[in-house]
Amino acid sequence: MEINFASQLDYFWVLAPEVVLSIFALVILMVDVFQRGETQEPARLSIAWLTAIGLLAAAAANTWLLTLQDAAPAGPIAIDGFRVFTNYLFLGAALLFLPLSWRYLTDERMRHGELFVLLLLATVGMMFFAGTRDLMLIFLGLELMSVAVYVMTGLNRRDRRSAEAALKYFLLGAFSSAFFLFGIALVYGGTGSVNLAVIHEVVGVDGAGANLLVNAGMALLAVGFAFKVAAIPFHMWTPDAYEGAPAPVTAFMAAAVKAAAFAAFLRVFLTGFPGLYETWGLIMFWLALATMIGANLMALPQDSVKRMLAYSSIAHAGYLLVALTAASVLGVAAFLYYLLAYTLMTMGAFAVVYMVAHRHELRLGLSEYSGLGWRAPLVGITMTVFLLSLAGVPPTGGFWGKFAILRAIIERGGIELAVVLVLTSLVSYYYYLRVAWYMWFREAHAGASPIPVSRGVSAVLVASAAAVVLIGIFPAWFLGMAEAGAAALMQAPMMSGIAGP
């Protein structure tokens, strides 16, 4: 089917997954209200199933997007492999989040059916954030996602850490959104449009059309994005927000929210400002360098595994920034592949953290992991897979992701970044493998309580671990898919009659 943005109806077709998810969100909101009535009983499981059906329906609609053809590649909503790929990623992360959050609600005896509504709305926000070519829609997607996730962070109103994390996340998130917005205003002033394709045309392939406003706006956009993806030195909210939020929400924030911010980051800079690569490539270079070195060093002394994984997620943002610095089809493909592996292993690792920490999340320390492998083999084995993948040991997805990023950046001549990436990965082996060492080679202390794993959570653990290994054993197929998405993204500027970067 050919899409023509002049027709209002066609907007519904291109936004099919978003429309499906929004309808489900509203329906679930009503179902929750009517189910609850005056009783104090917890939210019913049917809401979680309804949410799962909504996510699967959106995934089906997303598959159908592949049959659409874009008549005018400068339209406000992208129809390309990049959008389809990232949409699958967000839907998958939301699906993995469901059993974890259900377990959390049961453990804490909370009856917050609205959590599932917020989850769906946040996912819609991510899809708009990462899948549109119009800065206005990108901003609205960003805010829809952020506002929903602020509430999810503060979900446990009785927990002081959760409230504190929500406040810190909210204040710095809103602060960074303002920078982002000012950046949009300046770019709009400098180019006369908020459409990325038009901006690219005005700026030109060599950046000749860029004036002071465009350059300043682009810098502010970079600051806003750097906050959202938690690149050093804009990372100060991350460890606190990730440590204080309920662990399932942390998993979702670290995996999906960060993935959305990164996907939008790539789309804006690679399709809007490829002509100014000379300027922003340098910014990305230093951001990547600082993030990789700083985060890996700060992760070393952490005793809380949850906080260590928060720093590790910052470190991974550094590796992804290297892929962005490469700014080539290979780089974007490596980025997508790594994002896939990263989402799976992060969701899995935080799920294990929640299983160990259990009710009220008191057992976060490293010593709680002593002998875990022998006490709860399923948790131990899957956590080992996640840790090996996070560290980048073959044959896991994390290894091939780093390999693809290295290939892309070396091809662009960024040897310095490649060397730093390898060295910091070696440093990271210490803090990842230390957890594995505790799990398998330390005696459990006498009073260690059992780890009760529900069926839903086991399914999440097994599915993510299997997927991490699968994409590690067959990297070529997944990389091929990522390359198709990457080529579609990088092609857009060329279609408007100008050569790509």
Partner 1 sequence: MLTESLVLSGVLFSIGVAGVMIRRNAIILFMCIELMLNAVNLAFIALAQQIGIEGHVFVFFVMTVAAAEAAVGLAIIISIFRLFETVDIRNFNLLRW
- Whether a cis peptide bond, with omega within 30° of 0, leads into 274 is no
Rounded Cα distance between 179 and 223, Å, is 7
Out of 23, 29, 181, 219, point to the residue binding partner 1 (CB under 8 A).
181
Stretch that binds partner 1, among 97-105, 122-130, 186-194, 429-437 (CB under 8 A): 186-194
380 binds partner 1 (CB under 8 A): no
Residue 119 to residues 149, 289, 428: CA-CA distances in angstroms? 8, 33, 31
- How near is the Cβ of 90 to partner 1 at its closest, in Å? 21
Stretch that binds partner 1, among 168-176, 250-258, 434-442, 482-490 (CB under 8 A): 168-176
Which one, 152 or 376, has the nearer CB to partner 1?
Answer: 152
Question: How many separate helices (H) and strands (E) can be counted in the chain?
Answer: 21, 2
136 binds partner 1 (CB under 8 A): yes
Rounded Cα distance between 77 and 87, Å, is 13
Out of 29, 163, 410, 448, point to the residue binding partner 1 (CB under 8 A).
163
Which one, 157 or 359, has the nearer CB to partner 1?
Answer: 157
Stretch that binds partner 1, among 89-97, 122-130, 146-154, 438-446 (CB under 8 A): 146-154
147 binds partner 1 (CB under 8 A): yes
Binding residues for partner 1, rule CB under 8 A, total 39
Rg, C-alpha atoms of the chain: 22
193 binds partner 1 (CB under 8 A): yes
Instruction: Tell me which residue of 343, 354, 458 sits closest to 398, measured CA to CA.
Output: 343
Out of 157, 359, 360, 445, point to the residue binding partner 1 (CB under 8 A).
157
Rounded Cα distance between 214 and 199, Å, is 9
Torsions phi, psi for 132 (to 5 deg): -115, 160
Strand-pair partners of 134: 195
Out of 11, 13, 188, 440, point to the residue binding partner 1 (CB under 8 A).
188
29 binds partner 1 (CB under 8 A): no
244 binds partner 1 (CB under 8 A): yes
Binders in 199-228 for partner 1, by CB under 8 A:
none
Binders in 50-109 for partner 1, by CB under 8 A:
none
Long-range pairs, 448-455, Cβ under 8 A, ≥24: 448/368, 448/370, 448/371, 448/375, 449/358, 450/375, 450/376, 451/355, 451/356, 451/358, 451/372, 451/375, 451/376, 451/379, 452/358, 453/355, 453/376, 453/378, 453/379, 454/99, 454/103
236 binds partner 1 (CB under 8 A): yes
462 binds partner 1 (CB under 8 A): no
Which one, 184 or 299, has the nearer CB to partner 1?
Answer: 184
- Continuous segment of H or E residues that includes residue 3: strand 2-3
111 binds partner 1 (CB under 8 A): no
Cβ atoms of residues 69 and 3 within 8 Å: yes
Tokens of 37: 């009535």
CB neighbourhood size of 501 (10 A): 16
154 binds partner 1 (CB under 8 A): yes
239 binds partner 1 (CB under 8 A): yes
Residues near partner 1 (CB under 8 A)? 136, 139-140, 143, 147, 150-151, 154, 157-158, 160-161, 163-168, 170-171, 174-175, 177-178, 181-182, 184-186, 188-189, 192-194, 236, 239-240, 243-244
